[in-house]
Amino acid sequence: MVAMVSIDLEKFYLLLHPRPAYVIGSGVVGKEANLMAASWVTPLAEEPPLVGLSVDVESRTYELISKYSEFTVNVLPFEKIDLIYEVGSKHGWDVDKLAILPSDPGEVVKAPIPRSAIGALECRVYGSIEAEDVVFYAGRVVKAWSDPEYFHMKKGWSIHNNPIPLHNWGRGFFRVGKFHRV
């Protein structure tokens, strides 16, 4: 404890970064659809398969998820960090973010999946917890996709060619470093 200093509680979450930066798809492709960056995403359960996502209530994404009760969680490669940041710094009311990352609807849900995704989860809202500034959604995963160039069912993401961007703070991203087996 002696070497540590107290930090601002408003920024506690930075201690839990870097975290993978994903792109969330919401709404209905062809009608009203949107994309936003999200790093507050976590697996929640295997049975049923659930994923958790924290969404700012002042976002277009929140508006669309609360309306349609569906979303997608998309893994984009590190090379797309500029575009991930762009969909994470503009609101869908002001910009058509499917023009930034062209997308198609999922197979089961109608929310968008960017064509550049190398992994995607299609989800239906299973439950939610309301805080003051965010809603935490538990999404039931109804379909999962991966690019076999990067992801292997038995080994997971490629060890030597791991492309997942990790968000640290603001415009700062890490890239996955060395792999260690224990």
Tokens representing residue 140 in the block:
């039931």
Residue closest to 121 by CA, chosen among 151, 83, 155:
151
The correct pick among 25, 27, 36, 105 for binding ligand FMN (CB under 6 A) is 36
Return the SS3 of 138.
strand
Q: Residue 150 CB, nearest distance to ligand FMN (Å)? A: 20
Number of residue whose CB is nearest ligand FMN: 88
Backbone angles phi, psi at 51, to 5 degrees: -125, 140
Residue 92 in the binding site for ligand FMN (CB under 6 A): yes
Q: Stretches 8-16, 32-40, 107-115, 136-144: which one binds ligand FMN (CB under 6 A)?
A: 32-40
Determine, following the binding rule CB under 6 A, whether residue 85 of this chain makes contact with ligand FMN. Answer: yes
Decide whether 95 or 107 has the Cβ nearer to ligand FMN. Answer: 95
Question: What is the nearest approach in angstroms of ligand FMN to the Cβ of residue 26?
Answer: 7
CA distance 113 to 117: 7
| C-alpha to C-alpha distance for 65 and 36, rounded to whole angstroms | 12
Distance CA 97, CA 25 (A): 10
21 near ligand FMN, judged by CB under 6 A: yes
How is residue 72 written in tokens? 């997608």
Considering the rule CB under 6 A, would residue 37 count as an interface residue with ligand FMN?
Answer: yes
Helices (H) and strands (E) in the chain, counts: 2, 14
Residues of this chain, 158-177, that bind ligand FMN according to CB under 6 A: 167
Q: Show contacts with ligand FMN in window 41-60 (CB under 6 A).
A: 54-56, 59-60
Contacts of 37 (CB under 8 A, 6+ apart): 21, 22, 23, 24, 84, 85, 87, 88, 89, 167
Task: From 38-46, 112-120, 138-146, 150-158, give the range in contact with ligand FMN by CB under 6 A.
Answer: 38-46
Site membership for ligand FMN, residue 135 (CB under 6 A): no
> Which residues lie near ligand FMN (CB under 6 A)?
21, 34, 36-40, 54-56, 59-61, 85, 88-92, 167
